Structure 1
């Protein structure tokens, strides 16, 4: 790959020879550091484009220009055949006070960012398709709905649903119009189902808008939206007489329910019909305020303009990635009509995840994720304890290798360890870039000069902080965070802004706290995990530099691990935990590290006085943590496999089990990987043949509960003490003693 680097008119202090040395072990094609690659040195880019090699351009500011240059360069391969990649070195740290003061400190960061950008692209994922014919429903007041429809009707098949007072309906009937109260709205782009109830005496389908009823009403209770204000009507019924043969007005008409399908929905109501942080694609909510003056009205008008532009283009066939994979076999949500883990359902801001038991009825285990509603936040995969839900855009193994490349390149060129800053490609990226630009208030000033008056004194992204853009910040969780520290990062910080749902913050914060509990419990000092929740560049600047003071010392970090992140979440977690346990600085490790309720690790406490060894918990466990012994009545438990879902606790008829979130450290962590006996009992011997067929306590409990019942009197009661084989023989040997309970 050929890499083209520019110091942006000498505003980024790039030490070319040092950077070349840091990148010496790669075939990156770095030859020189350009000064104005987008202007006077543009021919250098064109020569590189004609070489046929893959290109990496260290400039995102002029991305469009470089793509156009490639298209206009004779002999250059089209982007469709050879994509051109871009990496931001400027705002991500090149424009910072520390880089200006000590350019050498910037070299490890630049090398890391370039190395990560040179990595192969992730494998493509399957796609989810939408088809829209342009049938659009506009919801709101008559005035707002008609105004919006006028901007859409030449492109879309528009219908109006008047749900709020305000405005008049046009005399000329050019669009289908209904009025009423929305009772249900669901679906997605190309497949919305809308249900509304109309209870007003005036039927808009029949109304001719002759205005006879408006004139006849003495209370002026009928507006030119052709709906009756029932709070003002005194039941004189002059309007009914005026309407006459048209028959559009009836006070005896029962409320009518209407159902229709639409491809698109524009909701102009004061309150959204779909009140979700991540509404489905194809649904726009623009709460227009009354009047034309004021900030709220102007914001509403701007939002409506954006929505109209997007709606006009929302006709045809569309695709988006399928962001997730789901393995029902290890899902800890439900089994045997018992609910266990509900973390994914609770965190999903798009309500794309539902319980199969609620959809298909009791007995169905697992969940269903509707890919058309999924927005790819990945929060479900972060909170999933078993790895049943895994992120695929990109897959964990690819993302993990990117992180390992990023951290490893920095560590090879530096004398300290980097901080990994995870942020979204949207608002998070904008915050990082805004900080870089704000820090450049002194960027052009040069030695001995001052920044223009009023320029914020921001320091920029520190050279030690490596930003990594994700589709969504919640898509990376405990497995990759721990792997990053194991592989050499000093810390992992997650940047969130106004675009993240409150549930994402709570979930990610709980998982970060859990990761910190693990490392602190194993004796690793410093703060390794941090949630940065800010809204502007100044707050981000303060948070980044404050966090640097709490980082662990290089000597307090474990040696860098060499393992690769796996696509299986639990496998990666085990690799990381083993690495930390083996390299714990504690002279004497505790028996266990206690963890919070969000822990996917832990043990089971069992009340042996209550347990009858019915083994119903074994059948309920989705992770293979619980097992039996075919040779004797035993309940075995492998702690490494337990995901703390609670299905065993909910299934136990004796309420004998309790979850214990922890990381067990006995025998250097090896004990948690081996099955151990939680409980065992003496077997019950068949009264006929002597073969053990259950536990003494279980059979005695059955006899105690059923023995007094008339149905189990005599021979039927005696058969409760027999094994299955002897019971069948006895039934056929003594048919006169057989009761319906035996069959």
Structure 2
């Protein structure tokens, strides 16, 4: 690699030594560095295992971090210009680890359930029986049927439900066959005796073929396993692990529960890894939820369902009783897409937190710019397949470097950023990255991602791009790079050569906040303040996925009942205690639609937009009208249109005729006085409170 240690040292304000074969001939230099007692960054991931072994042999307790600058920087046709990028990657690697988060614990004793044809289930059990306590659930005989020697407990019947996760699976089934497999000795006497061949080698009776001659019962007297008078019984049992051999899996969501494996019978490595899930395990609790900010439900009206719709693990559901969402931490796989699409920030990604990602983006971009880099593009990719693809791309570029035509490799201006999951960042972080100086923000997706992730990211990118285009920033700033496997390296290489887009001349200094909306406002303020040009006072945004916008009101239909104020979860709508008014703060609106669904007159509609004027942050008057005054005392107690609408609707009702209708024109106090005056026999206890 054509590395420049002087330039890197100047960029990082730290003396660096260039090694040519650190992992082999110069391993002693690495061990010497571990003696310093300070955290160590090794700019190589190829031999990370060797470095860790060397440190362990030397009894070193120094924290060691690894960062790949070879395939992502040094092995590229742009390698000679990659010093700013390499400095940025090294600077980011020096950042402290994020603060620890709460964890989710699984406990598995190794009780495994295998569901499938009996012959296939028994073959799989042979691989697992030495490590797990295996129970089989027969789903037919299969091609060869069950073995004559019964080594494992076998269940049968009709599966009703299978739910749960590692250490907590619940199986409910109905045992509805005359043969009890727990008593059956597999002597095959019933198979030989049955004239209709209604009994197969799964030792269950096909009741559609059986003509009830009961020959099987006569030959099974000793074992007593066959009983046609036995009523179907509902059964339930718990398991720690589930291996599913059926063509159709029990769980259809993209991200299956931990501890569940839908196995095709070919990938032995996957099966062996699955059998190791015995003991106690921990994973981060990937999310944080603030119910007060949630725009899912108010007053039994459903508003935003973005997180429920996008979750690939079926971990998020609607809690209608509490009028909020419910997240199952045991099912959550930490994709973070729920936080990306959440308009309010009620659900946020906690591993790492948004503020940690902000520091990382800022460090990368500021170091890159300080080192002389220009037109930075952040490439967000997964730590798994995404990192492997970039490694393959770098190796291909190195092998083809002497060819006139060949793989370019990762360009010098592209800064790879590994993420726990590629869909865990969204609008506010992308716009913050642009405000920090990024020309482009790209997200690399592979076939390991659920389809709904790509759709959600496209919606968010459309909103972000509309904002920047409306502000006059030229070029395409956001893009999804979708690659399936190594066969698409040429296409990935081509897409990485895209032109740089325009970024603000002055780079922002704000820090990403824990609150999503606060970060979004900081980024918008900076981008608006340094916008090349703006056409008009408003930017129209896409209807799908926009967390920004206003409200349109039909004043002729609105009665100022103020139901919308009570429904708004973001304090975007408010009343006026001094006068019948409906007021609105556009900055607070998250476009959840709860106000629209709550309005009994259907007088409201959403307007996805970004208001560029200062009025966006101010309380503005949406509607007002004269008050309705009591016909007795003259005190205002409602709106003119609201009371008139009520009178019109109740005028034909039998309960509101004559004096009763007139009482509707009175305030609460005068109404009670009038009722007492009209009927002196009315008791105080009969009056509703």
Give yes or no for TM over 0.5: yes
Q: Distance in 1 between matches of 2:52 and 2:112?
A: 36
Moved more, 150-159 or 609-618: 150-159
Q: Distance in 1 between matches of 2:123 and 2:373?
A: 63
Q: Distance in 2 between matches of 1:380 and 1:130?
A: 23
CA RMSD of aligned residues (A): 2.1
Residue in 1 aligned with 2:578?
Answer: 631
Residue in 2 aligned with 1:42?
Answer: 27
Q: Determine helix, strand or coil for the equivalent of 1:21.
A: helix
Question: How does the TM-score come out when normalised to structure 2?
Answer: 0.95
Question: How big is each residue's C-alpha offset from its partner over 1:160-186, in whole Å with a ceiling of 9 and x where there is no partner?
Answer: 101243133333343221112322111
Q: Distance in 1 between matches of 2:380 and 2:246?
A: 36
| Aligned: 1:282 with 2:259 | yes
| Aligned: 1:403 with 2:361 | yes
| Contact 2:375–2:501 (Cα < 8 Å) also in 1 | no
Question: How big is each residue's C-alpha offset from its partner over 1:533-581, in whole Å with a ceiling of 9 and x where there is no partner?
Answer: 012346345345445443225xx64421111111111111111111111
Residue in 2 aligned with 1:700?
Answer: 644
* Structure 1 residue 114 displacement after superposition: 0.5
Residue in 1 aligned with 2:565?
Answer: 618
Residue in 2 aligned with 1:92?
Answer: 72
Residue in 1 aligned with 2:125?
Answer: 149
Seen in structure 2, the aligned counterparts of structure 1 residues 243 and 330 have a Cα distance that, compared at 3 Å, is same
Residue in 2 aligned with 1:20?
Answer: 9
Q: Determine helix, strand or coil for the equivalent of 2:622.
A: strand
| Contact 1:731–1:737 (Cα < 8 Å) also in 2 | no
* Structure 1 residue 439 displacement after superposition: 1.4
Question: How big is each residue's C-alpha offset from its partner over 1:217-266, in whole Å with a ceiling of 9 and x where there is no partner?
Answer: 12333222201234544443322333346443344544433211111111
**Residue 468 of structure 1 is aligned with which of 401, 413, 417?**
417
Q: Distance in 1 between matches of 2:425 and 2:284?
A: 17
Q: Distance in 1 between matches of 2:139 and 2:672?
A: 70
**Residue 112 of structure 2 is aligned with which of 136, 145, 152?**
136
Residue in 1 aligned with 2:513?
Answer: 566
How many positions carry a matched residue from both structures?
Answer: 686
Give runs of aligned pairs for residues 641-720 of structure 1, distance below 5 A: 641-665=588-612, 667=613, 670-720=614-664
* Structure 1 residue 738 displacement after superposition: 5.8
* Structure 1 residue 436 displacement after superposition: 1.1
Q: Any gaps of 5 or more consecutive residues in structure 2?
A: none
| Contact 2:119–2:147 (Cα < 8 Å) also in 1 | no
| Aligned: 1:165 with 2:141 | yes
Give runs of aligned pairs for residues 425-504 of structure 1, distance below 5 A: 425-442=383-400, 457-504=406-453
| Contact 1:59–1:88 (Cα < 8 Å) also in 2 | yes
Q: Distance in 2 between matches of 1:544 and 1:515?
A: 25
Q: Distance in 1 between matches of 2:188 and 2:687?
A: 77
| Contact 1:60–1:88 (Cα < 8 Å) also in 2 | yes
Q: Distance in 2 between matches of 1:43 and 1:31?
A: 16
Question: How big is each residue's C-alpha offset from its partner over 1:688-736, in whole Å with a ceiling of 9 and x where there is no partner?
Answer: 2211111011111112222332323344333222222333444445544
Give runs of aligned pairs for residues 577-592 of structure 1, distance below 5 A: 577-586=524-533, 588-592=535-539
Seen in structure 2, the aligned counterparts of structure 1 residues 722 and 558 have a Cα distance that, compared at 3 Å, is farther
Moved more, 571-580 or 162-171: 162-171
| Contact 2:259–2:274 (Cα < 8 Å) also in 1 | no
**Residue 220 of structure 2 is aligned with which of 236, 239, 243?**
243
Residue in 2 aligned with 1:117?
Answer: 93
* Structure 1 residue 741 displacement after superposition: 8.8
Residue in 2 aligned with 1:372?
Answer: 330
Residue in 2 aligned with 1:53?
Answer: 38
Q: Distance in 1 between matches of 2:50 and 2:635?
A: 84
Question: How does the TM-score come out when normalised to structure 1?
Answer: 0.89
Q: Distance in 1 between matches of 2:226 and 2:190?
A: 9
Question: How big is each residue's C-alpha offset from its partner over 1:77-134, in whole Å with a ceiling of 9 and x where there is no partner?
Answer: 32xxx311111001112111221xxx1x111000100011111110000001111111
| Aligned: 1:266 with 2:243 | yes
Seen in structure 2, the aligned counterparts of structure 1 residues 701 and 285 have a Cα distance that, compared at 3 Å, is same
Q: Distance in 2 between matches of 1:693 and 1:402?
A: 56
Q: Distance in 2 between matches of 1:587 and 1:513?
A: 18
Moved more, 324-333 or 159-168: 159-168
Moved more, 245-254 or 165-174: 245-254
**Residue 325 of structure 1 is aligned with which of 288, 291, 313?**
288
**Residue 272 of structure 2 is aligned with which of 289, 300, 308?**
308
* Structure 1 residue 593 displacement after superposition: 2.9
Seen in structure 2, the aligned counterparts of structure 1 residues 616 and 561 have a Cα distance that, compared at 3 Å, is same
Q: Determine helix, strand or coil for the equivalent of 2:429.
A: helix
Residue in 1 aligned with 2:550?
Answer: 603
* Structure 1 residue 588 displacement after superposition: 4.4
| Contact 1:716–1:741 (Cα < 8 Å) also in 2 | no
| Aligned: 1:527 with 2:476 | yes
Q: Distance in 1 between matches of 2:335 and 2:361?
A: 19
Q: Determine helix, strand or coil for the equivalent of 2:423.
A: helix
Q: Determine helix, strand or coil for the equivalent of 1:678.
A: strand
Moved more, 198-207 or 612-621: 198-207
* Structure 1 residue 615 displacement after superposition: 0.5
| Contact 1:522–1:593 (Cα < 8 Å) also in 2 | no
Question: How big is each residue's C-alpha offset from its partner over 1:4-60, in whole Å with a ceiling of 9 and x where there is no partner?
Answer: xxxxxxxx1101222222222xxx4x3311101101111111111011111111011
Give runs of aligned pairs for residues 506-521 of structure 1, distance below 5 A: 506-521=455-470
Seen in structure 2, the aligned counterparts of structure 1 residues 587 and 60 have a Cα distance that, compared at 3 Å, is closer
Q: Distance in 2 between matches of 1:252 and 1:513?
A: 65
Moved more, 423-432 or 588-597: 588-597
Question: How big is each residue's C-alpha offset from its partner over 1:352-385, in whole Å with a ceiling of 9 and x where there is no partner?
Answer: 001010xxx4xx2110100010000000000001
Q: Distance in 2 between matches of 1:39 and 1:245?
A: 72
Q: Determine helix, strand or coil for the equivalent of 2:655.
A: helix
Seen in structure 2, the aligned counterparts of structure 1 residues 439 and 113 have a Cα distance that, compared at 3 Å, is same
